[in-house]
Amino acid sequence: MAPETAVTRIPEPADETEVMREQLEYLIDHAAQEVQCGCSECQRYLRVRSILLEIFGEPQRPQVKEIPLARAA
Ligand SMILES: [Zn+2]
């Protein structure tokens, strides 16, 4: 335990990116074992996966015009 690190912890964007990458790789690696243990890591992976797939595989939204018209007022 090093209390100094907690105090002098400076958030660096590069570190955060690195951490995210490591987390992602960890989750992917965990889920790649084809063992649906259903632990918190598995659920985190599914969450992250759905989010990423939503970003990258977002279907072209039909531009539905659902603008609420306030003409009645
Ligand atoms: Zn798991």
Q: How many whole angstroms from 14 Cα to the centroid of ligand 1? A: 28
CB 39 within 8 A of CB 18: no
Q: How many whole angstroms from 73 Cα to the centroid of ligand 1? A: 55
pLDDT number for residue 67? 66
pLDDT number for residue 37? 86
Q: How many whole angstroms from 36 Cα to the centroid of ligand 1? A: 6
**How high is the mean pLDDT in each 10-residue block of the chain (73 residues)?**
61 82 91 82 90 75 65 60
Q: How many whole angstroms from 58 Cα to the centroid of ligand 1? A: 27
Q: Six-digit token pair at 53?
A: 């797939």
Which residues lie below 8 Å from residue 48, measured CB to CB, with a gap of 6+? 24, 27
pLDDT number for residue 62? 63
Q: How many whole angstroms from 67 Cα to the centroid of ligand 1? A: 43
pLDDT number for residue 18? 92
pLDDT number for residue 22? 93
Angle formed at CA 33 by CA 28 and CA 38, multiple of 5 degrees: 80
Whole-number Cα distances in Å, 14 to 8, 17, 24, 61, 70: 17, 5, 15, 34, 48
